[in-house]
Amino acid sequence: MAGPPSHDDPTTVDPAAITHAPTSTTGPVTLAPAAPGPRLRADEALTIATDFEQRYELGGELARGGLARIRDAYDRVLHRRVAVKQLLARGGDADVRFLREARITGRLAHPNIVPIYDLGLDADGAPFYAMKWVEGRSLHDLIEARPTLDERLALVPHVIAIADALAYAHAVGVIHRDLKPANVLVGDFGETIVIDWGLALEAGAVDAPVADAAPISAPRLTSVGSVIGTPAYMPPEQARGDAVDPRADVYALGATLYHVIAGTHPYAEAETSAATSDDGPIWARVLDEPPAPLATLCPGVPAELAAIVERAMARRAAARYASAAEVGAALAGFVAHHQSHRLAEAAVRRDDELAARMRGARTDDAGAVAAIYREADVVQFGLEQALQAWPENPVARAGLARLRARLFDFECAVGNLAGAAALADALPADPDRTRMLVALRADLARRDAEAEAFARARDRSIGGRERTIMLGAVGAMLAYFLIEALVSHRSLDDAGATRRILRNAIVVAAPTLAMMWAWRKRMFANEFSERAGRTVAAMLVVTVTHRVLAIVIAQPARDVFVLDMLLIAVAMWTFGGRLGLALGALAVAGAWVCALAPAAALFVYNGAIIGIAVLLAVAWSRAARRE
């Protein structure tokens, strides 16, 4: 609504024209200076009003109640915009109440309480008072304009300012008794002003209710009578008409905060009732039971804030905060913790999703396990950031404990003993977790023993030195037989060649088997060594046996080497592995050469055996060094 025109015109005034105006003028009196001096601007001229109409230029009506109305006005004397409250109905104790309201408000000098500038009688002889003009909206209107909880939570600092104003009023012995969002103005520059102290009660004063007045059922209107206040915001003792103390304002402050959070006043659901009598639903609910829990109306409300409201609106005055200052301190703590709350709530939402993923995750799927670890790191980071902002954040502390407990179970399922033990140390002592750790250690010890046994069974370093010496001895003996054949010019066609190659086989086999027997604890200490030893022993035994049979059946010596090479190939293939396959192929190639070139069979056979021995020794030695 447009206000009255401004009168701050800086045009200058001629001192000679400034005179003592007669007292019958309708405007403020402009006084001339005592002696001629510099020219004055109009807004610097000293003016004094002698009556209401001289001083105030009234504008439109801003608000109206049962006893008074507030109008926009301009103070011609002090050149400022003000709000003027005028009594509407005279008679009874209305004048007394109005003047008491002005007097009480006037002595409450606090930045969050509307200041009184003037008190007097208007042109009709009715009392009025002028107060600070606040450019802004009521807290009630701001709540209505903010549909989401996050938007309304931004209004909490205004409730803290209200608590400061009430704490000051209580300190000087004044109880408001009608606090509600409609009686709080929020200025365009963030100022918070508590207004309408018409029902305020001074310490030690006895209220004198209007005898013929009765309570009203509308939840947001003020009743003046045997019970005074606004039903939805008053405590039970005030609704019963009992004497009240500052804790009644604490309740109303909690109800105002309830309205800020929920977006609607306490007991709003009772408005849907058809009962509208004096004993209607609002009064009955105020007397009989608390309003609907905030968590029901606003599931996302921070637990800390809901707890503040619950305590402030306790049914028994003794259970409430002892003072409005305590409410303000609790809310200031919440505002400081709000960012921590937001971080914690976001992390808890992700943790709920993580819990569902963990329940269906396969612990043998490395990709799924890694994804869960990454998400858990994100959740843990959010909770730790929330605790860094506020170390006592209960949501973050509980969320971190839940996450760690769940991760402990997951680490046990994965088999990560170190991770599970670290989490157990970070969690409170728990017998079940202790038993799980003991079981996990035993299981991992069993697995380690099995893995160690498996690795030992295939460890080529065990008995490696003994196998190398044995193969070296075999190679040396075969080399000797080869040199002997070259020096003596003996041929496989000589008489007794078959017996000679049998002798050579026995000469090689006997000491080799003796060494294997002597070093059996090392050479047969694991699966690999045992398999290698059985292969070598079998090859030697088969070779000697075959050569004995060759003498019995009179097999030519040249053919003996071909068959020996094939038997050696079968032994190598039986040993297995890529090395066994390669050596078996080498033995087959030797047999093929012996068959094609019988004259060179002796040299090919001995050379092949020496090569196989050398290759085995080198391969086993290198494998042993790697292991």
The letter for the amino acid at 475 is G
Is residue 282 within 8 A of residue 234, CB to CB? The reply is: no
Q: What is the pLDDT of residue 6?
A: 42
Higher per-residue pLDDT: 509 or 322: 322
- Please check the confidence at residue 210 and state whether its pLDDT lies above 60: no
Which has the closest alpha carbon to 45: 72, 66, 20?
A: 20
Mean pLDDT (the chain, rounded): 82
Q: Assess whether pLDDT exceeds 80 at residue 462.
A: no
pLDDT at 391 over 70: yes
In the set 118, 164, 178, 564, the catalytic residue is 178
CATH superfamily of 136-322: Transferase(Phosphotransferase) domain 1 (1.10.510.10)
CA 312/CA 489 separation, integer angstroms: 119
Is 178 annotated in the active site? yes
pLDDT tens string 522-539: 777 777 777 777 777 887
Residue-range domain boundaries for the chain: 12-132, 136-322, 338-456, 459-626
Amino acid letter, residue 381? F
- The string of pLDDT tens digits covering residues 326-348 is 999 999 988 888 888 889 989 99
Among 166, 174, 216, residue whose Cα is nearest residue 193:
166
Contact between 407 and 373 under an 8 Å Cβ cutoff? The reply is no
Number of H helices, E strands in the chain: 22, 14
Closest CA to 423 of 477, 373, 473: 373
Residues facing residue 63 across a β-bridge: 70
**Residue 196 backbone zone (phi > 0: left; psi -120 to 50: alpha; other: beta):** left
Q: Letter for the amino acid at 183? A: N
Topology of domain 12-132 in CATH is Phosphorylase Kinase; domain 1 (3.30.200)
CA distance 379 to 114: 48
Task: Tell me: pLDDT of 26 over 70.
Answer: no
C-alpha dist (Å) from residue 335 to 154, 158, 420, 536, 579? 9, 11, 37, 84, 75
Whether the predicted pLDDT of 251 surpasses 90: yes
- Record the pTM: 0.58
pLDDT in tens, 537-593: 887 888 888 888 888 888 787 777 788 788 778 877 876 677 778 878 888 888 888
Higher model confidence: residue 189 or residue 460?
189
Q: DSSP per residue over 608-621, as a string?
A: HHHHHHHHHHHHHH
Per mean pLDDT, which of 330-339, 394-403, 465-474 is the most reliable?
394-403
Pairwise CA distance, residues 503 & 511, whole Å: 13
